[in-house]
Homo-oligomer: A and B are copies of this chain.
Amino acid sequence: MMKAGPSQEEIRRHNLGALLRFVHVRGPASRAILAENLGLNRSTIMALTSDLTAAGLVREELPRTPGRRAGRPSLVVRPESTRVYVLAFDVGVDRLTVARVGLGGVILDRREAARGRVAASGGASGAADPNEMVNALAAAARSLVRKAGDEATCVGAALAFPGIVRRSDDQVMFGPNLDVGGMAIGEVLSRRLGLGVPVAVCNDANLGAIAEHERGAGVGVNDLIYLHGDVGVGGGIITGGRLLGGEDGYGGEIGHMVVNPGGRRCACGSRGCLEAEVGERTLLDLAGRQESPDVPGREAVRAVVDAAARGDVVARDALHRVGTWLGRGVADLVNIFNPGMVIFGGTLRDVYLGAAAQIRSEVATGALAASRERVKLRTAALGDDTTLVGAAEFAFADVLADPVQVLARLRGAPASAPVP
């Protein structure tokens, strides 16, 4: 049911958010450009800018490259990237990344650590212990916060996780490649940080889709599919400009479409899932290679793609087979979604680069002519940072929805000592 129209106060809040989002996504802009793009008059822009400046979210200054026209140059509104930031956490199967990302999307600082993975047999090594993981994430984040100094304010935090996550309480419901044993990662991490901000936990591929849509290959594409390979295969889907969440937030689990009934066994219990046919383990297995602690998955996948390019027949056949099933899965998705773009990220980025012809040929054969006519196949423009950038964008959502309110609440919050 449609809601009735908004109040004046709601309109002001909406406009503040719209202006801040504009400079956050598009970068510094003059009042004239803001007025034109937001459909507001100059005096409204001036009032909004003044509120955002007072809150410490933007500042106005002379453009860095002076304009060509003579006379006084127009001031530009610039996001306060160093003073207002979020913490973005990316939990991969092989590595942990924590970054401090400033308003405007600038990665200001980062920490990375390799981590031991759960063995393919299911036995967990010591380094895969979820407590150790949270310890490592919290320590890295605290070090970033200390370095940022007291002048800077953390306005949000989010964590990209390779598993399916319930929207209502951020609980990880299924993460066969990285078991967290029912731990409420977000809550634990938030307490350990003591910054007064919650840590949202989201599926990594969903965040990848958001990142590529906002800042990557899919800018301006309102219907896109992001496919993410780590050990597993996940998906994030944007339809009509919005993330497909589904009833509980589990939408986009394209890794568990059955493309090959009776095919390879999958971690989910089925056979022939897309993940089972095109995942990292299958590619390495077909290529006669093993993962090893020295060569984590992503590099092992790259080694197969490189070997295939140099003419290694076993590697080439392995890539061909994986490319075929990946192409068939993409053809199904093209029929179902009629997307404007399909983006390959994580290890699937490398697979796509090595098997593009194969994948395109399967899409041409398997998808309806009309549905595939305008689809573009692309690799993730944000490279290995796709899911990390997505976590940052997700973490900024609150402050962009209600900038002044959120900042006032955070600055007024009594500082709680971080739990060591």
Interface set of A (CB-CB < 8 Å, partner B): 1-6, 10-12, 14-15, 17-18, 21-22, 25-26, 37-40, 164, 166, 173-174, 222-223, 235, 237, 239-240, 242, 244-254, 256-261, 268, 270, 328, 331-333, 335-340, 365-371, 373-375
Contact = CB atoms under 8 A, between A and B. Distances in A.
A4 B39 contact: yes
A18 B1 CA distance: 8
Contact of A337 (B25, B242, B251): B251
A239 B239 CA distance: 8
Contacts of A257: 332, 335-336
Given A164-B368, A374-B247, A336 B1 contact: no
Contacts of A235: 336
Contacts of A248: 338, 370-371, 373-374
A37 B3 CA distance: 8
A223 B246 contact: yes
Number of copies: 2
Contacts of A261: 259-261, 328
B338 A336 contact: no
B14 A253 contact: no
20 contacts: A1-B21, A1-B22, A2-B14, A6-B6, A174-B370, A223-B251, A239-B245, A246-B337, A246-B338, A247-B339, A248-B338, A248-B373, A250-B370, A251-B337, A252-B336, A256-B367, A257-B335, A260-B261, A261-B328, A268-B368
